[in-house]
């Protein structure tokens, strides 16, 4: 599921440490002053401690990247199974349960990742509904698209959010930032167009080339709109309730899960569970585990780095998923869709 750091990249805002510090009244002024303390020489312990913190950051960054890549390709494999292709609401509900349980565990005093804060159920309903659309629509996109198109379309979250903020709040972005978004949007369009074109395997190869259906593109664009609206709504709830992303997510995940459960009998095509092979259940459990790892590791990444480092990690994940998706799609370097990928990637890292 998008995380996704991920409205990030992959949609749902995760553990927002800086917002949590602000909500808890944390400031540098609250730290003990050492102005009158006796001067101390740098110790070997301090050096080791800094090195240990750096290693910890790198380890959790690697875990986050591997979990993000793992969840995308695991979910894609699950959705390629005809029995699970139309099980999106059930799957999203399961992920919300995993997310809620993870946040509840890390918020316990023994871990102390953040301090839970209660909000009214009725008050959270609009955000919970938006969260459902934010997850279900991108999942449908992944089910009917290639991994490459799915991930590239998620990049459109930035320009769409900017448009919503400008339309409803009059908020603007710097001219240079707006110009960079132009090749990004064009690149996504080029790749999506050529990805929907049927193409025979080159050189008589037996491996079929993965393609994206028109329905997949429609779900992808709808998912971008839903995720953008969710991002803007999250910002409004931050200010309204003075809560961090992790506090909001802990409140809304259970509500979203229950809401989707009511929709399951109507919209999902449930397979005969006894006929589902064991390896498919293992993959579903793996997907839930990846979701938990993304939530936990994101906390350590944000806590151990600044905004620039977090952005770099996000770009690395996008480039990695797009590259692997292209490699497994069966397309070659002469495919015209590659131009769109280069334009998009160049725009987001430029």
**Rounded CA gap, 191 and 344, in Å?**
9
- At 22 the pLDDT is 42
Q: What is the mean pLDDT of residues 290-317?
A: 76
**Rounded CA gap, 48 and 188, in Å?**
45
User: Among 229, 252, 259, which Cα is nearest to 90's?
Assistant: 259
Residues 6+ apart with CB under 8 A from 303: 17
**Rounded CA gap, 271 and 276, in Å?**
8
- At 15 the pLDDT is 35
**Rounded CA gap, 116 and 9, in Å?**
25
Q: Is the model's pLDDT at 10 over the cut of 50?
A: no
- At 58 the pLDDT is 86
**What are the structure tokens assigned to 44, written together?**
């070997």
For the chain, the domain total comes to 1
Query: In this structure, how many other beta carbons lie within 10 angstroms of the beta carbon of residue 234?
Result: 21
- At 11 the pLDDT is 35
- At 108 the pLDDT is 92
- At 257 the pLDDT is 95
Residue 258 confidence class, pLDDT cut points 50, 70, 90: very high
**What are the structure tokens assigned to 325, written together?**
């998706």
Q: What is the mean pLDDT of residues 61-67?
A: 91
51 in a domain, yes or no? no
The pLDDT tens digits of the residues spanning 195-211 come to: 988 665 555 555 678 88
Q: Is the model's pLDDT at 222 over the cut of 50?
A: yes
Return the beta strands (E) in 187-241 as ranges.
none
**What are the structure tokens assigned to 5, written together?**
């750091």
Residues 6+ apart with CB under 8 A from 333: none
Q: What is the mean pLDDT of residues 216-226?
A: 93
**Rounded CA gap, 95 and 257, in Å?**
8
- CA torsion 87-91-92-94 (nearest 10°) is 150
Q: Is the model's pLDDT at 168 over the cut of 80?
A: yes
The pLDDT tens digits of the residues spanning 237-257 come to: 988 999 988 899 999 999 999
Percent of the chain past pLDDT 90, that is, above it, reads 41
Q: Is the model's pLDDT at 223 over the cut of 70?
A: yes
152 in a domain, yes or no? yes
26 in a domain, yes or no? no
For the entire predicted model, the pTM comes to: 0.79
- At 288 the pLDDT is 92
Q: Which domain, by its residues, includes 186?
A: 17-21+56-197+211-349
87 in a domain, yes or no? yes
Helix (H, G, I), strand (E, B) or coil at 200: coil
308 in a domain, yes or no? yes
Q: Is the model's pLDDT at 152 over the cut of 50?
A: yes
DSSP 101-148: HHHHHHTSTTT-SS------HHHHHHHHHHHHHHHHHHHHHHHHS-HH
The pLDDT tens digits of the residues spanning 292-304 come to: 888 888 777 766 6
Encode 202-233: b = buried (16+ Cβ within 10 Å), e = exposed.
eeeeeeebbbbeeebbebbbbbbbbbbbbbbb
- At 303 the pLDDT is 65
29 in a domain, yes or no? no
User: Among 6, 19, 72, which Cα is nearest to 295's?
Assistant: 6
10 in a domain, yes or no? no
Q: Is the model's pLDDT at 190 over the cut of 90?
A: yes
Average pLDDT, the chain: 80
The pLDDT tens digits of the residues spanning 106-138 come to: 999 998 888 999 999 999 999 999 999 999 999
**Rounded CA gap, 98 and 287, in Å?**
10
50 in a domain, yes or no? no
Query: In this structure, how many other beta carbons lie within 10 angstroms of the beta carbon of residue 43?
Result: 9
**Rounded CA gap, 189 and 191, in Å?**
6
């Amino acid at each position: 599921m998008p995380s996704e750091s991920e409205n990030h990249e992959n949609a749902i805002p995760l553990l927002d440490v800086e917002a949590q510090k602000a909500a808890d009244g944390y400031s540098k002024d609250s730290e003990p002053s050492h102005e009158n303390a006796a001067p101390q020489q740098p110790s070997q312990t301090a050096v080791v401690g800094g090195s240990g913190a750096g290693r910890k950051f790198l380890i959790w960054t690697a875990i986050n990247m591997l979990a993000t890549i793992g969840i995308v390709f695991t979910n894609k494999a699950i959705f390629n199974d005809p029995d699970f292709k139309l099980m999106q609401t059930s799957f999203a509900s399961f992920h919300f349960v995993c997310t809620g349980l993870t946040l509840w565990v890390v918020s316990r005093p023994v871990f102390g990742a953040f301090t839970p804060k209660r909000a009214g159920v009725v008050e959270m309903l609009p955000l919970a509904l938006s969260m459902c659309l934010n997850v279900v629509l991108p999942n449908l996109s992944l089910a009917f698209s290639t991994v490459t198109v799915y991930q590239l379309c998620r990049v459109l979250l930035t320009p769409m959010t900017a448009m919503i903020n400008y339309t409803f709040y009059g908020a603007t972005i710097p001219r240079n930032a707006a110009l960079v978004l132009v090749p990004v949007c064009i690149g996504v369009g080029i790749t999506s167009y050529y990805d929907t074109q049927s193409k025979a395997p080159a050189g008589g190869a037996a491996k079929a080339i993965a393609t994206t259906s028109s329905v997949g593109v429609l779900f992808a664009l709808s998912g971008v709109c839903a995720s953008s609206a969710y991002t803007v709504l999250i910002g409004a709830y931050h200010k309204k309730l003075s809560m961090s992303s992790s506090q909001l997510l802990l409140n809304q995940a259970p509500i979203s899960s229950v809401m989707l459960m009511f929709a399951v009998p109507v919209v999902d095509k449930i397979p005969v569970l006894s006929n589902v092979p064991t390896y498919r259940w293992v993959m579903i459990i793996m997907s839930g585990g990846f979701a938990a790892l993304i939530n936990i590791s994101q906390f350590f990444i944000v806590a151990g780095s600044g905004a620039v480092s977090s952005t770099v990690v996000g770009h690395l994940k996008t480039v990695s998923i797009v590259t692997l998706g292209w490699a497994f799609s069966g397309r070659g370097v002469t495919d015209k869709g590659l131009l769109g990928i280069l334009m998009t990637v160049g725009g987001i890292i430029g």
